[in-house]
Structure 1
Amino acid sequence: MRIAMLSPIAWRTPPVHYGPWEKVASLLTEGLVKRGLDVTLFATKDSLTHATLHAVCAKGYEEDPTIIPKVSECLHISELFDHADAFDIIHNHFDFLPLTYTGLTRTPVVTTIHGFSSPKILPVFRKYNKKTFYVSISEADRNPDLDYIRTIHHGIDLAEFDFQPHPEDYLLFLGRFHPDKGAKEAIAVARASNRKLIMAGIIQDETYFNAHIKPVIDGDQVTYLGSIGPEKRNEVLGKAAALLHLINFDEPFGLSVIESMACGTPVIAVNRGSMPELIRDKENGFLVSNIQEAIRAVDRISGIDRAFCRKTVSDHFTVDHMVDNYIRVYEKICEMTKREDHRPWGFYRILSDENTFKNKKITVYPGKRLSLQRHQHRDEHWFVVSGKGICTLNGAENRLVAGQSINIPRQSVHRIQNDGIKNLVFTEVQTGDYFGEDDIERLEDDFGRN
């Protein structure tokens, strides 16, 4: 199975600091490669992967202010669709824009919807509903107007997160500084609980940060670390008494929540969006409705079993779980779209099927041959792409190698045999008035299909 993985290009894949969509695309890509799948990652040129990297954009546009984002996005997405027919599955992590290219290829496209930035983007998803496939990242983030092939929760690499059974006494905010994420509320809870608060993440809304966060950063009770990389994230998550996730929106998933629990650190979260799918109230954290409930939860945080927090992730939210589920989705999509028809001698793929012609790509395994046959309603033209074989046409044998072709007139008796040690691949263009499989009259067949 050949998979094209389309990652966003706001950041490198995987990101150095922030970049949750790029992070998931990376984790999935590397997990699939470990399973032996043929994956091509479409990402920035500075991306790191064990897959085949295909890139046209040097770096993420969030990392270089001279880059015009829309220009990079158009070049990046169109590059994949220029090569779409080389793949069995295209997996889109780039939101809605790539959907507008899907009519240009017969390769099935599955889109992981990482959340809806605005209801105004829904018309694009609605237009391509049933024409492509959608995966939701939580049951809470499903839109009733769309059909989904499956919900697949994100998974993380547990090896990146050390279990810490004995935390320090501080609380932690880890996320974007934006009103949605509840940084201001985290400060209020820490102050009321008389706990130190460490804060880390990118500043997405500078007005919000300057008004509500910056004035209270004193390096003592409230400390701001900036945007942190994997090693520092592992450290501050593991040593925290609790992660405060006091969101003001319906969180589609929340990677920081499972990363925190992977370290054994419980999470106090507002009960919105996907939080009930990740947190079992009073077992691996607390689900709260307001600041007052969050303050009370801080006083009870020592009662949470940190080993159970870790177990929650190992049982449900690992890369292996995520990879298993996506492979099942890929297999289901391939079966539903069935681009290849397998036979005892090899397989073929229909490249185009029109009223006046049909085009196939045919692969014959070494040592195998098709039946000796003829057609009443169509002519065929064969062009060898790779490998070599012997074409028998009305009793005469013709050696064919890559770059050579032969015409097969209707009613002529013919067959092709792969006498090489590699697959024989050729295209077959059919012209005529009928292209059904029942137009094949088999005169001899190695597999008993006469």
Structure 2
Amino acid sequence: MLSPIAWSTPPKKYGPWEYIVSLLTEGLVKRGIDVTLFATADSHTKAKLHAVAPRPYEEDKDMLVKVYECLHISEVFERAKEFDIIHNHFDYLPLTYSALVDTPVVTTIHGISSRKILPVYKKYNNRTFYVSISDAYRCRDLDYIATVRHGIDIESFHFNEKPQDYLLFLSRLHRDKGVREAIEVAKKTGRKLRIAGFIADQAYFENEVQPYTDNNQIIYEGHVDPEYKKELLSNAYALLHMINYDEAFGIGVVEAMASGTPVIAMNRGSMPELIRNGETGFLVSNIDEAAEAVQNIDSISRKACREHAEKHFSVDRMVDEYIKVYETILEKRKREEKRPWGFYEVLMEKPGYKVKSLTVFPQGEISLQRHAHRNEHWYIVSGEGLVTKNESKIRVLPGDSVDIPVNEIHRVTNIGGQNLVFIEVSRGDYLGEDDIERLEDKYGRT
């Protein structure tokens, strides 16, 4: 389990990715699964802890971040043969190591900070496996093996049927999170607003938040610890989640509902997947709608909020779904055959015919070959290739197809920058892999 090292695992205060890694790791250990957690040395776990970074780099600004990131990631991949699966929660950097090992790598994409990092995800799209944390946050350029929404330790959150009268903002203090908008809602409704979270943008805080704090109606509580956070959530009349971006998930939203606290959130990103509008909170489009929703909070059952969290966002549910992901990957890899040029997977095999999916990596090519017992039909799914048939060469793109008769000399080369994927249907009296006569091969297999 590869955790980030910005914060410890679990985090002392802030650290949503590390928080989820901790819950998942401890849940897997509880199921009897042997887990090695790669995290900071001050992390706490019942798994085997392996650490290079002595402490989180966000807590020690003297640490050279890239040095410890490189050391941290390399430790995992240098030990890859010890593991059945490497589960990456460290964003895109570990993907650049993944093609160097045989151990399958699955990456939970917690967030995409910029489209500028997508070339890395796209390069390893069909070589590794991606998990999304909400359907809304899937990138159309990538393929995913599953969506696994986060779970939380619901029993650790205190359900409160009789809250106090304040509204709550609980997140990092940044323009994206809508702190200023939450202040506007509080002023429109005349309600007290308590703000908790670490300051992620100092200039934004000084210009858009601090001038409105008065320790009376608008109160900044600071960067609170987990226990005080739970107290704030449990006693809140409602949580304001006035985000200005399409958020991938929203752990605080689920934690609020687990406490029995309804959520008023901007209808963006994953919010419709977390909140049942009119049942566990309200989805709104602007400040005025949010202010109106505050007036209608009494129509929301706090018990229904808790039950919704218990049913859909428990740690056990999250662990169950990740175990299914691991099992799927291991089963899939059993059926895959790796080659120097890429890999193939047998999709179906019956007497007289076989269907395979072949993936050829960029600059990879299948040997110049022919078959004595079978003919083949290739259908290009994605990528760009150059097919050799006897003396002719054919450029192929998605949607193109090529027929390879018995004894015809042929080869395919990936001439694009992305994986070349095609479906091969073979027919004949013998379909074994030894029915290959290699005439030329860049990998020395003739």
The CA deviation string for residues 262-282 of structure 1, in whole angstroms up to 9 with x for no partner, is 000000000000000000111
Residue 302 (structure 2) aligned to one of 300, 306, 309? 306
CA distance, structure 1, for counterparts of residue 236 and residue 298 of structure 2: 11
CA distance, structure 1, for counterparts of residue 334 and residue 46 of structure 2: 28
The CA deviation string for residues 235-287 of structure 1, in whole angstroms up to 9 with x for no partner, is 00000000000000001000000000000000000000000000011100000
CA distance, structure 2, for counterparts of residue 306 and residue 137 of structure 1: 25
1:52 is matched with: 48
Residue 183 (structure 1) aligned to one of 179, 186, 202? 179
1:198 is matched with: 194
The structure number with the bigger radius of gyration is 1
Residue 6 (structure 2) aligned to one of 2, 10, 29? 10
Gaps of 5+ in 2: 342-431, 435-446
2:110 is matched with: 114
CA distance, structure 2, for counterparts of residue 222 and residue 353 of structure 1: 62
Task: Report the number of matched residues.
Answer: 344
CA distance, structure 2, for counterparts of residue 252 and residue 148 of structure 1: 15
1:239 is matched with: 235
TM-score by length of 2: 0.75
The CA deviation string for residues 104-131 of structure 1, in whole angstroms up to 9 with x for no partner, is 1000000000011111111110000010
Q: Does residue 230 in structure 1 map to residue 226 in structure 2?
A: yes
Instruction: Return structure 1 stretches of 4+ with deviation > 2 angstroms.
Output: 352-355
CA distance, structure 2, for counterparts of residue 71 and residue 126 of structure 1: 25
The CA deviation string for residues 58-79 of structure 1, in whole angstroms up to 9 with x for no partner, is 0110011111111111110011
Gaps of 5+ in 1: 341-349, 356-435, 439-450
Amino acid corresponding to residue 302 of structure 2 in structure 1 = R
Q: By how many angstroms is 1:189 displaced?
A: 0.3
Q: By how many angstroms is 1:354 displaced?
A: 8.1
The CA deviation string for residues 162-219 of structure 1, in whole angstroms up to 9 with x for no partner, is 1001000000000011100000000000011000000000100000000011111111
1:321 is matched with: 317
CA distance, structure 2, for counterparts of residue 437 and residue 232 of structure 1: 63
CA distance, structure 1, for counterparts of residue 339 and residue 203 of structure 2: 57
SS of 1:140's equivalent in the other structure is coil
SS of 2:222's equivalent in the other structure is coil
1:169 is matched with: 165
SS of 1:97's equivalent in the other structure is coil
SS of 2:81's equivalent in the other structure is helix
SS of 1:332's equivalent in the other structure is helix
1:249 is matched with: 245
1:90 is matched with: 86
Amino acid corresponding to residue 121 of structure 1 in structure 2 = I
CA distance, structure 2, for counterparts of residue 102 and residue 336 of structure 1: 17
1:155 is matched with: 151
1:418 is matched with: none
CA distance, structure 2, for counterparts of residue 200 and residue 145 of structure 1: 36
TM-score by length of 1: 0.75
Amino acid corresponding to residue 136 of structure 1 in structure 2 = S
What value does the CA root-mean-square deviation take over the aligned residues? 1.7
Q: Does residue 273 in structure 1 map to residue 281 in structure 2?
A: no
CA distance, structure 2, for counterparts of residue 159 and residue 45 of structure 1: 28
The CA deviation string for residues 335-382 of structure 1, in whole angstroms up to 9 with x for no partner, is 011299xxxxxxxxx9x9889xxxxxxxxxxxxxxxxxxxxxxxxxxx
1:264 is matched with: 260
